[in-house]
């Protein structure tokens, strides 16, 4: 029901507004009220007085335009040169900072190599000391054959070889590379 009312209202509005089917042509353009030009009047380009003023003015205008364009080109060239200089300066700063960073890196690398060599020397020294202590311990634990092993019957019954005492607590001897 609501759709029917809307359709009826739209039809009534269209009938009141009309279809715009008038036979009138387009309206002539309105001239500004302060214009002195009248239809049928000749062009100003035919007037010698106008040309006497317009020709030098056109020349000056073209000269001013050329100067203006030249100024724009100079401004553009200066901007381009400034951007290029900024780029070169940034590149120079980058290269300097990179050289400094590489120098710091190389110094740190050399320091690490010196430290590594020092650690290797210290480790070698500690290993040599551990080997020495192990040799001393083995010498201390060494037990020579007793005089009883000089008797042939004892030698046959017992395997009389020189050896070493066991470590206290059943521990085993450490191995050192």
Whether the model clears a pTM of 0.95, i.e. scores above it, the answer is no
- pLDDT per residue over 50-93, tens digit each? 888 888 989 999 999 999 999 999 999 999 999 999 999 999 99
DSSP conformation class of 170:
G
The predicted-structure confidence for 22-36, as pLDDT tens digits, reads as follows 556 555 555 555 556
Closest residue by Cα to residue 162 from 131, 134, 136, 139: 139
| 143 and 162 Cβ atoms separated by less than 8 Å | yes
pLDDT at 25: 58
Q: What's the token pair of residue 171?
A: 């521990």
Residue 108 host element (H or E): helix 48-141
- Going 60 to 66 to 69 to 71, the CA torsion angle's sign is negative
């Amino acid at each position: 029901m609501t759709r029917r009312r809307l359709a009826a209202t739209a039809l009534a509005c269209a009938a009141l507004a009309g279809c715009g089917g008038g036979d009138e042509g387009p309206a002539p353009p309105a001239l500004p009220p302060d214009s002195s030009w009248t239809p049928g009047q000749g062009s100003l380009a035919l007037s010698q007085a106008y040309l006497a003023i317009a020709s030098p003015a056109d020349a000056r205008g073209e000269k001013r335009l050329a100067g203006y364009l030249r100024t724009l080109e100079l401004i553009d060239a200066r901007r381009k040169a400034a951007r290029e200089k900024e780029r070169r300066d940034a590149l120079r700063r980058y290269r300097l900072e990179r050289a400094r960073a590489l120098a710091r890196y190389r110094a740190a690398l050399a320091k690490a190599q010196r430290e590594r060599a020092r650690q290797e020397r210290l480790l070698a020294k500690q290993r040599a000391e551990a080997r020495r202590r192990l040799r001393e311990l083995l010498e201390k634990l060494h037990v020579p054959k007793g005089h009883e092993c000089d008797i042939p019957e004892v030698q046959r019954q017992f395997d009389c070889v020189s050896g070493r005492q066991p470590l206290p607590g059943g521990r085993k001897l450490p191995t050192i590379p």
